[in-house]
Amino acid sequence: MGKYHKVKTFFYLDARRTNDKGEQQIYLKIRVDQTKALLYVNRLVNPKIWDKVRQEHRGRGLEADTLNVYLRKIKLDIDNHANTFNLQGDPFDAADLKNAYSGKEDPKTSLLNLIDEFLRRQRDKIGKQSGIKQNSYNSVSALCGKLRDFINSHPDYKTSTYRLKDISPKLAYEFFEYMTVTLNNKYNTAVKGIKVLKQIINFGVSIEWLDSNPLRSFQKGYVFDDVRYLTKEELLQIEIKGFKNERVAAIRDCFLFCCYTGLSFSDAKKLSKKDIVIREGRPFIDLQRVKTDVGALIPLTPKAISLLNKYENHPKCVASELLIPLVSNQKTNLYLKEIAALSGINKELTYHMSRHTFATTVCISNGISYEAVSKMLGHKSTGTVTARYARVTPERLILEMDKVSEK
């Protein structure tokens, strides 16, 4: 049994709502604890025949009896709703009582309405300077769709009495279970769903639909599998392998360029001369990542510069003013399978692997800090890099031990 809420009601006339006959509008003032709400009664009465103490028409006859019975029924209905709330142990305020009587739901009390408002605000930000990318919105919208399906399928959450103020960590736990068990989603996908749910609740706090986020205590972190990357020897095998087919050789070089720079396929595909800047006398790639819209600053190594020079006059690069002659992702993946087989690499080559190779083999194995790798990869936080690439490679271990030997 929750807290018992004390309810008071009081009919009064509003002198500001007076018609030509001198009749005034009747309102019901509802008070629950310290909260107040006004209910429009849709009845008029002359203040001369209104009993302020008894809160009713003081006359006799059909007109007075009809009005007074109507007013008593309103009070009785309000009292019945209040008793129901109190018996159920549900927390409620004056607005809840008014809406229960009116058969209306305050949009600011519904989780489904909050989801809709959150997505509407997100849509408005697409393409704006401080907004989000369309792909990011699509991902969030898909997760919100799963959240809606979960709410509508759950007997506790789809009821009209469930309100934002009823949210507890149980909601997050059951949504996580719904995604991993019912939908058979991957663990990290479910974690992302929880993060979006908490983002929605935080948004509700920011627009004052909620006082605080009741899901703060519910924590789920991403679990990263061992990243697949090319070792120094495997990278060299691909570098020295000769290809007679120029198109295959170009695809190989584009893949190697991403191994040397950490660029994703989408970032490499749009790389142009304007993305190359000179800092401290050295060339850098300076761009906003397509996926996250986070800045990435990458110093170009001699091997990366060599590949850019090689394709400077390539017909596709000249025509498009881009720096890398990439083909479609689908064709690229087919060629990468061929490149792996011809190079003697028993791994599936992907552009995810090229980023992992850059982070692990090119950077971390050579003693570059996680902070620097995070900046070059364009991650939002160093924690992502640390969690994903914390594995100690033999090369990194030797470097660390050499520091000890030098002391």
For residue 173, the number of C-alpha atoms closer than 13 Å in the C-beta half-sphere is 7
Model pLDDT for residues 27-86, shown as the tens digit of each residue: 999 999 988 999 989 899 999 999 999 999 998 899 999 999 999 999 999 999 889 888
DSSP bridge pairs for 285: 276, 298
- Whether residue 260 contacts residue 358, with contact meaning beta carbons closer than 8 Å, is answered with yes
Percent of the chain whose pLDDT exceeds 90: 45
pLDDT digits (tens, 9 = 90+) for 160-196: 556 788 899 999 999 999 999 999 999 999 999 999 9
- The residue among 177 and 374 whose pLDDT is bigger is 177
Res 244: pLDDT: 87
The answer to whether the CB of 167 falls within 8 A of the CB of 157 is no
Residue 111 and residue 104 in contact, taking contact as beta carbons nearer than 8 Å: no
Lowest-confidence region among 94-98, 261-265, 391-395: 391-395
Average confidence (pLDDT) over 309-333: 88
Q: How confident is the model at residue 280 (pLDDT cuts 50, 70, 90)?
A: confident
The C-alpha atoms of residue 388 and residue 68 are separated, in whole angstroms, by 72
Tokens of 378: 């364009």
Q: Is the pLDDT score of 397 beyond 80?
A: no
Sort 143 into a burial class: Cβ within 10 Å, 0-12 / 13-18 / 19+. buried
Does residue 91 carry a pLDDT above 70?
Answer: yes
* Contact by Cβ (8 Å): 37, 95: yes
Residue 233 CB partners (closer than 8 Å, separation 6+): none
pLDDT recorded at residue 308? 93
Residue 255 has pLDDT above 90, yes or no: yes
pLDDT at 106: 62
Contact 97, 82 (CB under 8 A): yes
Average the pLDDT over 229-252 and give the result.
92
Predicted pLDDT of residue 211: 84
- Token readout for 371 is 């902070």
Q: Using CA atoms, how far apart are residues 170 and 173, in angstroms rounded to an integer?
A: 5
pLDDT of residue 391: 59
Which pLDDT value is given to residue 157?
Answer: 81
pTM exceeds 0.85 for this model: no
| 222, pLDDT greater than 90 | no
- Asked: is 232-406 a CATH 1.10.443.10 domain? The reply is yes
Report the alpha-carbon distance of residue 308 to residue 323 in Å, rounded: 6
Instruction: Specify the 3-state DSSP secondary structure of 281.
Output: coil
pLDDT digits (tens, 9 = 90+) for 103-155: 766 666 788 889 999 999 998 888 776 667 787 888 999 999 999 999 988 88
DSSP per residue, 352-380 = HHHHHHIIIIIIGGGT--HHHHHHHHT-S
What pLDDT, on the 0 to 100 scale, is given for residue 68? Answer: 92
pLDDT interval class at 253 (50, 70, 90): very high
DSSP 8-state class, residue 109:
G
Four-point Cα dihedral 94, 96, 97, 102, nearest 10: 130
- Position 215 pLDDT exceeds 80: yes
Residues with Cβ within 8 Å of 30's Cβ and at least 6 positions away in sequence, in order, are 7, 8, 9, 36, 37, 38, 39, 78, 94, 97, 98
- pLDDT at residue 402 greater than cutoff 70: no
Q: Is the dihedral of CA 202, 206, 210, 216 positive or negative?
A: positive
Return the CA Rg of the chain.
Answer: 33
Q: Which residue ranges make up each domain of the chain?
A: 7-102, 107-206, 232-406
Instruction: Please report, to the nearest 10 degrees, the dihedral formed by the alpha carbons of residues 258, 263, 268, 271 taken in order.
Output: -120
254 pLDDT above the threshold of 90: yes
Task: Please give the helix or strand (H or E) that residue 232 lies within, else none.
Answer: helix 232-240
Report the pLDDT value the prediction gives residue 302, as an integer from 0 to 100. 93
